[in-house]
């Protein structure tokens, strides 16, 4: 892995992790599902427009349409929808920690459901990762973290893990990466808009703080991070690129502490370190298994 790839991976991890902090600011001042739907509408429209400008087509294969719809619903509507609602009840650092366990959940479900072979290092990583979550959440529950918000975060991570396993191997056909990403966002926007109209009171006062956080979320974690991620995958491959996800809990907790002033204690530091180490071990074991 060269220095440019490392720089891209670090940039992606910082941008992706910062979304939890900017989201926490948004949902404090706006209905979460309505705000998320608008975010996806804007990001999806930009993505599709750019894809068409680059000559990409929305004539996708059946497998690509299946993946687009499943990911649009599970990743954008369920995963992020649950997380945005959860962050009206829990701190951004809690959401970042739970979301970071998605690679661990994918590994565990793949082993249980699909009988995937996991090397000893990967199995140790799974145990360590979930152990780190137990360290943090045990202390947080004693400290009064909202159990409903926590359950919503877990449900979101499970939805994304199931979607990842469901569509794995779906490739081929027409279209292009940017077109598929844009269409996934539009699927999420449409489904979230329906739920928002049925469940939320659509009243919001646009403040400079809200406008800045929303613009940042659309442009940086929404578009720039996605673009950097696919460039990184094209440069070093999906398995090696996924190694950088071990930094999500580290940067997510740190950014929330710096920007929002969320308090951390030794349980958080220890748990984050153990989770990060577990994710790294799982990803390294995947690389070794493919050699």
pTM recorded for the entire structure: 0.84
Give the model's pLDDT for residue 85.
95
Collect the ranges in the chain with pLDDT lower than 70: 1, 166-175, 238-239, 287-291
> Domain extents for the chain?
3-289
Give the model's pLDDT for residue 198.
94
d(CA 104, CA 118): 12
Query: CA of 3: how far to CAs of 92, 182, 246, 266, in Å?
Result: 31, 30, 18, 32
d(CA 74, CA 159): 6
Torsion angle (degrees, nearest 10) of CA 153, 19, 245, 75: 50
Give the model's pLDDT for residue 170.
47
19-73 confidence digits (pLDDT tens): 999 999 999 999 999 999 999 999 899 889 988 898 888 777 887 888 888 888 9
d(CA 281, CA 279): 5
175-185 confidence digits (pLDDT tens): 577 788 889 89
Give the model's pLDDT for residue 171.
45
d(CA 279, CA 269): 16
Give the model's pLDDT for residue 265.
81
d(CA 36, CA 80): 8
């Amino acid at each position: 892995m060269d220095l440019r790839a490392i720089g891209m991976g670090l940039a992606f991890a910082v941008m992706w992790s910062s979304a939890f902090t900017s989201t926490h600011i948004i949902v404090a001042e706006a209905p979460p599902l309505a705000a998320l739907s608008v975010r996806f509408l804007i990001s999806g429209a930009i993505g599709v427009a750019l894809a068409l400008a680059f000559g990409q087509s929305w004539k996708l294969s059946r497998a690509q349409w299946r993946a687009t719809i499943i990911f649009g619903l599970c990743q954008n509507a369920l995963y992020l929808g649950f997380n945005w609602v959860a962050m009206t009840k829990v701190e951004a650092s809690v959401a970042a920690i739970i979301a970071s366990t998605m690679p661990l959940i994918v590994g565990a479900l793949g082993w249980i459901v699909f009988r995937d072979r996991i090397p000893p290092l990967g199995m140790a990583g799974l145990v360590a990762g979930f152990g780190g979550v137990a360290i943090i959440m045990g202390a947080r529950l004693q400290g009064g973290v909202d159990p409903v918000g926590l359950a919503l975060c877990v449900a979101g991570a499970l939805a994304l893990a199931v979607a990842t396993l469901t569509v794995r191997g779906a490739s081929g056909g027409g279209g292009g990466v940017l077109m598929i990403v844009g269409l996934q966002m539009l699927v999420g926007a449409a489904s979230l808009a329906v739920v928002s109209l049925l469940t939320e009171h659509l009243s919001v006062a646009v403040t400079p703080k809200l406008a800045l956080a929303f613009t940042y979320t659309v442009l940086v974690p929404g578009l720039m991070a996605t673009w950097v991620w696919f460039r990184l995958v094209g440069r070093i491959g999906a398995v090696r690129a996924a190694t950088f996800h071990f930094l999500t809990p580290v940067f997510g907790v740190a950014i929330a502490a710096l920007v929002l002033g969320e308090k951390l204690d030794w349980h958080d530091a220890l748990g984050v370190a153990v989770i990060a180490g577990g994710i790294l071990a799982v990803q390294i074991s995947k690389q070794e298994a493919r050699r």
